[in-house]
């Protein structure tokens, strides 16, 4: 039966804004609506103060200094600023750029454009489907391709489809030893796991508010300012805001919401990690017991990294059902909102490049669903979702 009450389990795509975040933002639309760049009146002063306070909160949540936070419109822009900002510096180490086949398009597309302009881009492979660490990147693969002209390595912390967590601290250490700037797209991890830029040793790190119960249209790039300071070529120029690194009037209400959202996530983190992992494990248990041939995509749910931490985001589950089309499945499930490996975006009809990079066939990739559990999901929703998916798969298989 299609779900009758809407159930939202697409929290990797975006999250509902927490009402506490909306409340924190509200005065910055209606009362304190000044431009943070305005000098000489109280409206500008109040906006500037709110921005700087928020910058401090966000920086401290990730172990950075306030001046290391550059606000952007989201992680897509942060990734572009990091990658093109390093690659287009007139004084750079060279034109070799390294990343991974399973990165988000917001990393792969800027790299592809640079490749068309003559840069040499290496995209690394990951552990294949079926392995207990499917999707994981062995740091040795990075070490093996670094060259004297490598300007940048970019590896994501948590994958947005299969939830695999990469060994960022180990990879960053290799890059540092070889003098290569290291960027991490931590969009799916910040707010969901403890993330500390100093412990990880990253030089640049992207993240965004709308994946952590904050508003859309506001993100940040962490830019290391010491030992060594990272220099970037600005990508958006104009009024010279944020030290000229990213011009444009600051989104004050968005920035306040971003800080409130991250603060809440940080407070609730330990309990939420445990709760989401339990919900996720229960969902998998129900799906595999009810649906013949259900296969887990990505690393084992109980897998451990060498450092003892988990190998997978707590709220992530990606399942290939086989013998069914993911898009038809989405339609058959009515009000259950998840996403399908059939079309990774509404503008691109091809199957997920992440699943293909893991070695899934096109048919198997097209039969997958990604579940992203979040703050507002309950055990009752998990049980209803499993029932809805099982019924829809059975019905579609019968029609085949």
Ligand X SMILES: Cc1ncc(COP(=O)(O)O)c(C=O)c1O
Catalytically annotated residues: 344
How far apart are alpha carbons 17 and 142 in whole angstroms? 37
Q: Which is nearer to ligand X, 60 or 73 (CB)?
A: 73
Q: How far is the CB of 185 from ligand X (least distance, A)?
A: 5
> What three-state secondary structure class fits 177?
helix
Q: How far is the CB of 10 from ligand X (least distance, A)?
A: 11
- Residue with the two structure tokens 């921005």: 51
Q: How far is the CB of 29 from ligand X (least distance, A)?
A: 21
Residue closest to ligand X when measured from CB atoms? 74
Within 13 A of 169's CA, how many CA atoms are on the CB side?
10
How far apart are alpha carbons 241 and 153 in whole angstroms? 27
Q: Which is nearer to ligand X, 32 or 78 (CB)?
A: 78
* 267, 273, 278, 282 alpha-carbon torsion, rounded to 10°: 120
| Cα-Cα end-to-end distance for the chain | 18
Q: How far is the CB of 395 from ligand X (least distance, A)?
A: 30
Q: Which is nearer to ligand X, 8 or 46 (CB)?
A: 8
Task: Please give the residue ranges that form the binding site for ligand X (CB under 6 A).
Answer: 74-76, 104, 106, 156, 160, 185, 187-188, 208, 219
Q: Which is nearer to ligand X, 156 or 162 (CB)?
A: 156
CA distances from 205 to 62, 82, 397 (A): 10, 8, 43
Q: Which is nearer to ligand X, 75 or 296 (CB)?
A: 75
Q: How far is the CB of 72 from ligand X (least distance, A)?
A: 8
* 89, 63, 218, 273 alpha-carbon torsion, rounded to 10°: 130
How far apart are alpha carbons 324 and 327 in whole angstroms? 9
């Amino acid at each position: 039966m299609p779900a009758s009450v809407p159930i939202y389990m697409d929290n990797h795509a975006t999250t509902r804004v927490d009402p506490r975040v909306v409340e924190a933002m509200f005065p910055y639309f209606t009362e304190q609506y000044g431009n943070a760049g305005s000098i000489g009146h109280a409206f500008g002063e109040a906006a500037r103060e709110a921005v700087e306070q928020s910058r401090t909160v966000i920086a401290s949540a990730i172990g950075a200094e306030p001046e290391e936070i550059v606000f952007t419109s989201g992680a897509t822009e942060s990734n572009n600023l990091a990658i093109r900002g390093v690659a287009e510096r007139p004084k750079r180490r060279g034109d070799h750029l390294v990343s991974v086949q399973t990165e988000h398009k917001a990393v792969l597309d800027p790299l592809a454009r640079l490749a068309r302009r003559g840069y040499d881009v290496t995209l690394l492979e990951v552990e294949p489907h079926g392995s207990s660490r499917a999707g994981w990147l062995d740091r040795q693969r990075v070490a093996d391709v670094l060259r004297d002209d490598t300007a940048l390595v970019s590896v994501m912390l948590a994958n947005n489809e299969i939830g695999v967590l990469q060994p960022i601290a180990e990879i960053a250490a290799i890059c540092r030893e070889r003098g290569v700037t290291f960027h991490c797209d931590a969009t799916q991890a910040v707010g969901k796991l403890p993330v500390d830029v100093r412990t990880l040793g990253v030089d640049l790190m992207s993240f965004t508010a709308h994946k952590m119960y904050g508003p859309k249209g506001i993100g940040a790039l962490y830019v290391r300012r010491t030992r060594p300071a990272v220099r970037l070529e600005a990508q958006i120029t104009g009024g010279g805001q944020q030290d000229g690194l990213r011009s444009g009037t600051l989104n004050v209400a968005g920035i306040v919401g971003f800080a409130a959202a991250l603060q809440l996530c940080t407070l609730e983190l330990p309990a939420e990690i445990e709760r989401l992992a339990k919900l996720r494990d229960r969902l998998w248990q129900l799906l595999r017991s009810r649906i013949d041939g259900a296969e887990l995509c990505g690393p084992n749910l109980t897998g451990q990294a060498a450092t003892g931490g988990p190998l997978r985001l707590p709220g992530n589950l990606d399942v290939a059902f086989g013998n069914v089309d993911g898009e038809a499945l989405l339609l058959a499930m009515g009000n259950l909102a998840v996403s399908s490996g059939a079309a990774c975006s509404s503008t691109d009809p091809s199957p997920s490049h992440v699943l293909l990079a893991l070695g899934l066939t096109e048919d198997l990739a097209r039969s997958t669903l990604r579940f992203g559990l979040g703050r507002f999901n309950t055990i009752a929703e998990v049980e209803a979702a499993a029932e809805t998916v099982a019924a829809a798969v059975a019905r579609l298989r019968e029609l085949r």
